[in-house]
Structure formats: structure tokens, C-alpha cells
């Protein structure tokens, strides 16, 4: 069981990092697609980068107890507040990008926004209550589907 706790914790830590970086890349890419150099959504981008750094620092704190069986609910909340703010800022940034859309139809951005919101709706119950109520982990399936649809839209549209 000791190894199981270690690998589950490691997987959760790696997932937390990659999900955070996904939203940074998403907003940077959207800005690059629609803005010229002088119009970047720099305020939103800057805030997203600040909250990304805050979240990454929190993720690496030993108080998270990533490799222990008992969850630290306080740290789960602390590390997911910046993540929720990153998600909110991403949506705000995408609305701004959509207002300047010339390369992609606004429907493309509307769908991306809906998928970002959906991914957070499915993720937050798992992040906050998943260890106490393991069946909530099933919500990671539709969250992953949201990510896959986003990536498909971005790559193939």
C-alpha cells in the first residue's frame, strides 16, 4: 500500500501541474492567434502567470502530503483557489480574445469557453472531496472529455 499511496500522490501532483500549465498555454495561444504584437491581453496574461506561480509554489509545499493516505483538506482548498482564479481569468481573457476575433469564428471561442467552465465544474468536487468520497472521481471522465474536445478543436479546426 505504501507504493500505491506514493504513485497516486505523484500522479495527482503531476496532473495538478499539467492542468495549470494547460490554461497558461491556452490563453497565450488564443492571444497569439487573434492579436498583433501591440494588442496582447497582457493584463489577464500577467495575472494568470502570477496565480500560476502562486499555485506552483503551493503545490510543492510539503503540507500537501501528496504521498500520504490522509488528505489535507486545507491544502486542497489553498492550492485550488489560485487554480479556480486561473480558470476564471482564462474565461475573461477568452471573451476579450473573442471580441477581437478575426482568424477564428466566435463560435469556436464560445465552445472553448463552455469547455473550460465545464472542466472546472467537473474537477472542483473531485479536488475538494475526492478522497472522502472516491466515487466523485468519476467526474474526472467528463473533465478529461472537455480537455480532449478543446485540444481537438484547437488542433483540427
pLDDT-based confidence at 17, cuts 50/70/90? very high
Q: Give phi and psi for 29, each to the nearest 5.
A: -65, -45
Q: Is the pLDDT of residue 30 over 90?
A: no
| Residue 42: per-residue pLDDT | 81
Q: What is the mean pLDDT of residues 61-82?
A: 89
* Residue 1, pLDDT score: 58
As a dihedral over the C-alpha atoms of residue 142, residue 144, residue 149, residue 151, rounded to 10 degrees, the angle is 170
Number of domains in the chain: 1
Mean pLDDT lowest for which of 7-11, 67-71, 75-79, 142-146?
67-71
pLDDT, mean over the chain: 89
Give the whole-angstrom CA distance, residue 36 versus residue 83. Answer: 28
Range of the domain at 145: 2-156
Amino acid at each position: 500500500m505504501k507504493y500505491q499511496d506514493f504513485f497516486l500522490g505523484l500522479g495527482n501532483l503531476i496532473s495538478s501541474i499539467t492542468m495549470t500549465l494547460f490554461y497558461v498555454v491556452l490563453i497565450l495561444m488564443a492571444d497569439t492567434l487573434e492579436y498583433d504584437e501591440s494588442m496582447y491581453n497582457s493584463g489577464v496574461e500577467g495575472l494568470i502567470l502570477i496565480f500560476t506561480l502562486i499555485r506552483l509554489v503551493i503545490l510543492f509545499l510539503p503540507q500537501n502530503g501528496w504521498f500520504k493516505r490522509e488528505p489535507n483538506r486545507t491544502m486542497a482548498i489553498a492550492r485550488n483557489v489560485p487554480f479556480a482564479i486561473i480558470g476564471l481569468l482564462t474565461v475573461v481573457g477568452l471573451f476579450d480574445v473573442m471580441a477581437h476575433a478575426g482568424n477564428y469564428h466566435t463560435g469556436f471561442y464560445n465552445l472553448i469557453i463552455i469547455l473550460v467552465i465545464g472542466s472546472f465544474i467537473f474537477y472542483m468536487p473531485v479536488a475538494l472531496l475526492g478522497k472522502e468520497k472516491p466515487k466523485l472521481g468519476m467526474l474526472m471522465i467528463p473533465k478529461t472529455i472537455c480537455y480532449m474536445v478543446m485540444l481537438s478543436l484547437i488542433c483540427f479546426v
